Structure 1
Amino acid sequence: MTEFDQLFKALNITEENLKKEILNVGVVQTVSKASFIVEQEKYIKWLAIVISGKVRVWQENENRQILLYYVTPIQTCVLSLSATFRDCKSVINAKTEEETTVIKIPVQYINDWGYKYKSWNKFTTDAFINSYEDLLHSYKNLAFNKIDKRLLDYMQSICKKNNTTYINISHSKLAQEIGTTREVVSKILKQFELSGIVNLKFKQIELL
């Protein structure tokens, strides 16, 4: 099954004309880990739909990163999608967390397909709805939770997802994930260790 076949099946695309258009203008690209898909303050020329891999989306201001959400297979970055409708610069950065394969669609087709094809309209609408929930969660986390709680919640979610008590991550990377500085994360982790919540090792944290 090709990348295009995976996309057609996952999005339930049955319109033959849409399939032909995607095959004609879509570009399959496999990019290495830590590659930019979108860069803040640059115009977006392509909408990337992730076929395999994972993309981290964040905003950056004064060297501080605020994680917004992740893009996983058969998803796209909704803030990139919104920018394609207005021909404006990107307000976010998007970078691969691992080797990632995407299908790139030129932006001039995005809006038109929404009017012409029901399945494409559903895909873009669902993308907005799902990402709205992710963005709302990120906003609530930043607005109402203290940094120590955000850090503990993040580590617990990683452990639960991977079914382990160990997290292989640097303090700098943790700081990026919760929107603070490495120094703050290191200080909180030391407090957690003294309280018997974690055991700290080099680039590894054990949740007790």
Structure 2
Amino acid sequence: MTEFEQLFKGLNIVEEKLKEHILKEGILQTVPKDTFIVEQDKYIKWLAIVISGKVRVWQENEDRQILLYYVNPIQTCVLSLSATFRDCKSLVHAKTEIETTIIKIPVRFVSEWSFTFKSWNTFTTNSFIISYEDLLLSYKDLAFKKINERVIDYLRSEANRNNSSIIHISHQQLAKEVGTTREVVSKILKQYESDRIVKLQFKKIELLS
């Protein structure tokens, strides 16, 4: 199955005319790890749909980052999607976490196809709904959870996702993931290590409980 066939199947695209448009206008690209897909405060020329891999989306202000969500296969960055409808600058950064294959759609077609093809309209609508729910969860964590709770929740989530008690991450990267400073994260982790909740190693954290 080709990458375009994966896209058609994943988005349940059935209109032959839309398939023809995507095959004609879409650009298949394999992007290395740690490559920007979208940069904050820059205009967006393409809507990138992830076929395989993973993209991290965040906002940045001075030296602080706030993780918003991840874009997984057969998904797109909804904040980039919204910018294509309004022809405005991106509000977020988006960067590949691992080598990632994407299909890029020129922005001039994104809204046009939404009015013309039902399956594309369903894709854009569902993207907004799913990402809105993700953003609400992120806001809830930021607004109501203490930073030490967010740290341990993130580590346990990563352990479950990777089916491993060892999380390969630096204190600096963990700080970016939970929206705080490296110094704060290091202090929290040292306390957790003292409580025998984690064991700290170089760029690795092992969950003990």
**What TM-score results when the alignment is normalised by the length of structure 2?**
0.98
**Residues 143-196 of structure 1, C-alpha deviation per residue, up to 9 Å, x if partnerless?**
000100000000011111112211111000100100001111001000111111
2:85 equivalent in structure 1:
85
Matched residues in 2 for 1:121 and 1:13: separation?
10
Matched residues in 2 for 1:194 and 1:14: separation?
57
> Is the partner of 1:30 in helix, strand or coil?
strand
2:10 equivalent in structure 1:
10
Pairing of 1:43-58 with structure 2 (within 5 A): 43-58=43-58
**Residues 83-126 of structure 1, C-alpha deviation per residue, up to 9 Å, x if partnerless?**
00100000000000000000000000011101100000000011
2:35 equivalent in structure 1:
35
Find runs of 4+ consecutive structure 1 residues off by over 3 angstroms. none
2:95 equivalent in structure 1:
95
1:109 equivalent in structure 2:
109
2:140 equivalent in structure 1:
140
Matched residues in 2 for 1:175 and 1:198: separation?
16
Aligned residues with identical type, % of pairs: 70
Q: Deviation at 1:63? A: 1.3
Q: Deviation at 1:11? A: 1.0
Matched residues in 1 for 2:4 and 2:160: separation?
33
Matched residues in 2 for 1:139 and 1:17: separation?
40
Q: Which amino acid aligns with 1:165?
A: S
Question: Structure 1 unaligned runs (5+)?
Answer: none
Note the aligned Cα RMSD (angstroms).
Answer: 0.6
**What TM-score results when the alignment is normalised by the length of structure 1?**
0.99
2:195 equivalent in structure 1:
195
Q: Which amino acid aligns with 2:12?
A: N
2:75 equivalent in structure 1:
75
Q: How many residues align?
A: 208
